[in-house]
Structure 1
């Protein structure tokens, strides 16, 4: 009987662990990811906001170019633009310096 309860416990643990996964639909997950990219860019700008603007703007773009993968940069550039109201002014200015991902790489 001990074996049965053990196998039952492991089965219930397996089903419980699946319940902790995010069950959002793919569109909602993608939208949340895009919001997160904007938040990350804003955090980078927060770090550089004490710098003079002529240093902060390229530093923000450099950080994004060096630290974000091509998909992240592509999603960011496809979603946000220089007039996007949810981004701080420094990020809006840095967008022009963010490298788009190379096609096919």
Structure 2
């Protein structure tokens, strides 16, 4: 499994863990988790994956990552 695939899997697992709370609560919590626990190299790799289309990301993970990117801009 390549690194982007592994990061997609990890982001999707986080999204699934928070999904039961509903999108409005889950997306910020997913974003907070990624910001708090992923190192900068992981974040840079997933950011590049999102910029390339974000293939395979759970919709909640994709929204959380978009929120992180928007906050960084």
TM-score, normalised with respect to structure 1: 0.59
Equivalent residue number for residue 60 of structure 1: 30
Task: Pick 1 or 2: higher relative contact order, CA cutoff 8 A, min separation 6.
Answer: 2
Q: How many residues align?
A: 70
TM-score, normalised with respect to structure 2: 0.83
Structure 2, unaligned runs of 5 or more: none
Moved over 3 A (4+): none
After superposition, residues 23-102 of structure 1 pair within 5 angstroms as 32-81=2-51, 84-98=54-68
Per-residue CA deviations over 1:42-94 (Å, capped at 9, x if unaligned) read 0000100100211100100100000000110011101124x534111101111
Instruction: Give the structure with the higher percent helix.
Output: 2
Alpha-carbon RMSD: 2.1
Structure 1, unaligned runs of 5 or more: 1-30
